[in-house]
Amino acid sequence: MPSEGSINFFKPVEKIGVIGMGYVGIPSAVLFADVPHFKKVYGFQRNSESSGYKIDMLNSGISPLKGDEPGLKDLLKKVVSENKFECTSDFSKISECDVITLAIQTPFKNRDSLIPDFTPLKDGLEKTGRYMSKGSLVVLESTITPGTTEGMAKEILETESGLVAGKDFFLAHAPERVMVGRLLQNIREHDRIVGGISSYKPSDSGEKLILDGPDSPSTKRAIELYSPVLTKGKIIPMSATAAEVTKTAENTFRDLQIAAANQLALYCEAMGINFYDVFRGVDSLKGEGITRAMLLPGAGVGGHCLTKDTYHLERGIKIAAENSAKIANTGLNAGSPDPLDFPKGKDSLYVLARQINDFMPHHMLTLTKSALRRAGKDIKGSKIALLGWAFLANSDDARDTPSEVYYNLCKEEGACVFIHDPHVLKYPGVEISQSPEDVLKGADAVAILAGHREYYQMRPEIISGLINLKNGNPVIIDGRNVILPDAWIDKGFVYKGIGRGDKNGHPVRLDIPTGG
Ligand SMILES: NC(=O)c1ccc[n+]([C@@H]2O[C@H](COP(=O)([O-])OP(=O)(O)OC[C@H]3O[C@@H](n4cnc5c(N)ncnc54)[C@H](O)[C@@H]3O)[C@@H](O)[C@H]2O)c1
Ligand SMILES: CC(=O)N[C@@H]1[C@@H](OP(=O)(O)OP(=O)(O)OC[C@H]2O[C@@H](n3ccc(=O)[nH]c3=O)[C@H](O)[C@@H]2O)O[C@H](CO)[C@@H](O)[C@@H]1O
């Protein structure tokens, strides 16, 4: 084992353990296994009721992941047949590994508390600490609250192993930035953020020199691990905490950009103008590095990433302030101010962005009720055709979907809601139809919640033939800018669209045929 802070590793990385055979761990493990000079990769998977089945599947060269992952099937078969990858629930094999990476889920306990449930991750860290050898590198790939690597993870590993982080073993955070559907490509091509913990080495004068970020031996060891896997991507070294903030901030900023578009859309509606005119205008200011990356407004923000990573970041600064206060109280630097200087009593901009994005399904309800009123109907007792349950266009992923919020709000108002989605076949607690006719027949209102390509094909004359014309004008609410308002207004629809202040107050045709 190198002396404290030394960067001369005594042996190259040969055996790797990846804990957590999921969307992140499986592609990560098979890519490591395909590197010629990495001799063996163990995929550690606990033999739980919900996921234990993966062990035999993986050892048979079959991926347990849903959906198509280009290249994964063949690569998995290859590394299994070469005996370079083996899935196991025998965690004692961790002792053979030079490197252990943890790709374990880090969900929030519930949408309200927004406190992460680190139970599975802590279990993975305890097993790692129990079996890891001196000189090994531990890397957390899970999305975690900033401060976790230098904090909770380091504490658990040191307690379980009796070793000292940064001296007897290396510790880093290398967050995953993959998208389901292109896991291998993303790992190979995205730049890789690598953040090792700080180490210390004695200077000639006997003082302790801090080796941090790119100079940290843990960072350097992690670079040795990830470099052979990258094709287009390059390594971006930094400190462990900076790596944690990078991961959570990249999604926080995307959420913020979407919230900015949503707020502007609400302003445009209130001022009777078309958001998309303003979008084109603002977007035209390009060149000289002065572009404004404006994103698009919509019926809300769903998914596993953007709905949570802001709260990881917020929790990270809260913990940093608490830790600072603890030091302040120990008299080391008594009375030191709160490390965060921020306008007193003001909410975080990022939390406000989350609140604006979470408001959008509520705005969809406002538009629905207003349109039904203009058609002389009450939402209570109305039939609403909800088009699009997935949180993302042309996807079957419905995690944290805004459609569920809108659905529950309409039900609370006494509406009967029928759901259509061509990609999401089932979801707990609701029925989802793949037949547009069944959902649209007799509907008083059509609400578009996801921008699936199928919905761009809808024609007003076809839809009006299906829905309920007998008691007044049909209604359509467009949450994803899918339809052209005039064509539908001409057919007698009452139209409302997010950001469409220029059309939301359109005159309503009263001479529509109510059908035979
Ligand atoms: N899925 C994505 O697209 C994606 C993208 C970026 C980041 N991430 C992050 O990566 C992490 C993993 O996400 P995922 O989607 O791969 O999760 P997942 O649920 O698909 O896989 C986690 C796996 O770990 C196993 N596991 C849990 N606790 C364990 C333990 N103590 N010991 C051994 N195995 C254990 C589970 O059984 C499961 O098989 C999360 O923090 C997530 O936020 C995921
Ligand atoms: C590795 C990782 O963490 N990757 C993340 C993942 O994020 P994701 O899977 O959650 O997908 P997103 O595209 O972010 O959409 C989220 C929701 O926001 C709505 N939305 C979107 C854009 C817009 O202009 N207006 C909107 O309203 C949309 O309908 C949906 O509900 O992939 C993104 C690249 O796709 C990445 O950038 C992002 O880091």
The CATH architecture to which 3-233 belongs is 3-Layer(aba) Sandwich (3.40)
- 306 alpha carbon to ligand 2 midpoint, in Å? 7
pLDDT of residue 6 exceeding 50: no
Query: Cα separations (Å) of 165 from 11, 94, 136, 233, 238?
Result: 18, 17, 10, 28, 17
pLDDT of residue 343 exceeding 90: yes
pLDDT of residue 337 exceeding 80: no
Kindly state if the Cβ of 105 falls inside 6 Å of ligand 1. yes
Closest ligand by atom to 302 CA:
2
Strands 170-173 and 192-196: antiparallel
- 123 alpha carbon to ligand 2 midpoint, in Å? 30
pLDDT of residue 388 exceeding 80: yes
490, 506 in Cβ contact below 8 A?
A: no
Burial 387-406 (b: 16+ CB within 10 A, else e): bbbbbbbebbbbebbbbbbb
The residues of the chain that CATH labels 3.40.50.720 are 3-233, 244-329+346-516
- 303 alpha carbon to ligand 2 midpoint, in Å? 7
| Superfamily covering domain 244-329+346-516 | NAD(P)-binding Rossmann-like Domain (3.40.50.720)
Integer Cα distance of 172 and 198 in angstroms:
9
What local confidence, expressed as pLDDT, does residue 5 receive?
A: 46
SS3 (DSSP) at 384: strand
User: Worst-scoring range by mean pLDDT, 34-48, 120-134, 286-300, 361-375?
Assistant: 286-300
pLDDT tens track for 153-207? 999 999 999 999 999 999 999 999 999 889 999 999 999 999 999 998 777 787 7
Atom number of ligand 1 nearest to Cα 122: 31
> What residue spans of 380-509 are helical by DSSP H?
402-412, 436-440, 460-466, 485-490
SS3 (DSSP) at 320: helix
Kindly state if the Cβ of 104 falls inside 6 Å of ligand 1. yes
Which residues 6+ apart lie within 8 Å of 273 measured at CB?
A: 501, 502
pLDDT tens track for 462-483? 999 888 777 789 999 999 999 9
Q: How confident is the model at residue 11 (pLDDT cuts 50, 70, 90)?
A: confident
Where do we find the tokens 């031996």? 217
- 43 alpha carbon to ligand 1 midpoint, in Å? 12
Mutate which of 258, 262, 397 to test ligand 2's pocket (most atoms within 8 Å of Cβ)? Answer: 258
Kindly state if the Cβ of 308 falls inside 6 Å of ligand 1. no
User: Worst-scoring range by mean pLDDT, 228-242, 327-341, 407-421?
Assistant: 327-341
Atom number of ligand 2 nearest to Cα 306: 10
Whether the complex's predicted ipTM is more than 0.90 is answered with yes
pLDDT of residue 4 exceeding 90: no
194, 226 in Cβ contact below 8 A?
A: yes
506: amino acid identity, one letter: H
- 121 alpha carbon to ligand 1 midpoint, in Å? 9
466, 440 in Cβ contact below 8 A?
A: yes
- 337 alpha carbon to ligand 2 midpoint, in Å? 37
Closest ligand by atom to 254 CA:
2
- Measured in degrees and rounded to the nearest 5, phi and psi for residue 508 equal -100, 130
Mutate which of 42, 105, 157, 184 to test ligand 1's pocket (most atoms within 8 Å of Cβ)? Answer: 105
pLDDT of residue 9 exceeding 70: no
Kindly state if the Cβ of 48 falls inside 6 Å of ligand 1. yes
pLDDT tens track for 63-107? 999 878 999 999 999 999 999 999 999 999 999 999 999 999 998
Diameter of the chain by CA atoms? 96
Integer Cα distance of 78 and 63 in angstroms:
12
| CB burial of residue 448 (10 Å; 0-12, 13-18, 19+) | buried
SS3 (DSSP) at 199: strand
pLDDT of residue 257 exceeding 90: yes
What local confidence, expressed as pLDDT, does residue 203 receive?
A: 77
